[in-house]
Structure 1
Amino acid sequence: MKCKFYFASTACFIVFFLSVNRVIAQADAVGIFDKHEDIGHPKNAGAATYDKVTHTYFLKGSGYNIWFNRDEFQYVYKKIKGDFTATANFEFTGAKGNDHRKIGWMIRESNDEKSIELNTVEHGDGLTVMQWRSLTGQNMKDPEGEIFYPEKKFEVIQLQRIGKRLIMRIGHVGEPLKTVGAHIMKNMPDEALVGLFICSHDPEVIEEARVWDVHIDIP
């Protein structure tokens, strides 16, 4: 009888443990994304919420920058394997902040602050750029690791992956998208983290943004 009770108790504990983990995972989920968290331990904690009525994501984030050999920002992401096309509309909200604050799409090898990554960025002053870190812990390079677009202030940002090739496009709502550039990320794994990000470019400040009409299409 004791043996039967032991196995029954163990089975109940396993079910309880799995149930708790499932609840925690669901609590971290935001909209179509699996999780949100601060990368790189910024001084001020970020946050992310989703409005089911308007299908809008609201992001809050701090962080010194997404640059050099490590990053600090708020990230809302999911794991995607293989090719995809991610498109959304982005807009900073609230008072005007640092001209170098950042929002956009990002793909990363992991949630490590020094991870291999590529991001498609809209800055606070409207500057549009594609930038990347090719090796873990490597300094991002200016201008070798960037592709700038001559025009500024676009709402729509798109990140597409075809094999190892990553492509950035931008545009205004209702207009055809324009290609900023493309870069081959040889060391980016087939399964990677893909999502939305916000960085204040000021450790003392928390920036806010809204992101809507979010789509991730997988062939």
Structure 2
Amino acid sequence: MILVLFRTSVLQSTIFVNGKFCKDPKDVKAEDFFFSRLNVAADTSGRLGSNSTAVFVDQLPGHNTLGISLSRVDYAPYGVNPPHIHPRGIELLIVLEGTLLAGFVTSNQADGENRLFTKVLNAGDIIVFPIGLIHFQLNIGKSNAIALASFNSQNPGVITIANAVFGSEPPINPDVLTKAFQVDKNIIEYLQKQFGK
């Protein structure tokens, strides 16, 4: 939302960049470049036991056009940040507290393999998740864990695989998912019900 605008007699409208309208420089405030709640733990009492505090362009307008963002991820003991992808950004995750099992899967390789890379991470350890690859983290410790994720995009996006596949509206035809996952149709219908369908 922040971009130095060049005003000419021809260009008198607001510029739309990266899916966001840029502010006129005369309307920019210090708050556009400031976020103060990253020290507050997110609620991890949900069914996954994890939650994140995103600091993307919507939370920090000064990110627009800068190609950066970050997120704090909090994990309860045995909490999971489920398999997901970021379609518009590479993620670099650093563990601040606790112990995480983190991994990602390469897909559709020339040899037909889908290779899983995993690592146990402790405080101070870093892992990189390449853009668009399915990845996850699991708190394997008995205490809370905290990680910071940085992205090379002001809006990396997130698609949680199970939510997208089993929780779409309208639901994906169970016959499609039965064939794709090679399981009984009752299992697919059960999973769709778990995600509110």
Normalized against structure 1, the TM-score is what?
A: 0.28
Structure with the higher fraction of residues in helix conformation: 2
Structure with the higher fraction of residues in strand conformation: 1
Query: Greater RCO between the two (CA within 8 Å, min separation 6)?
Result: 1
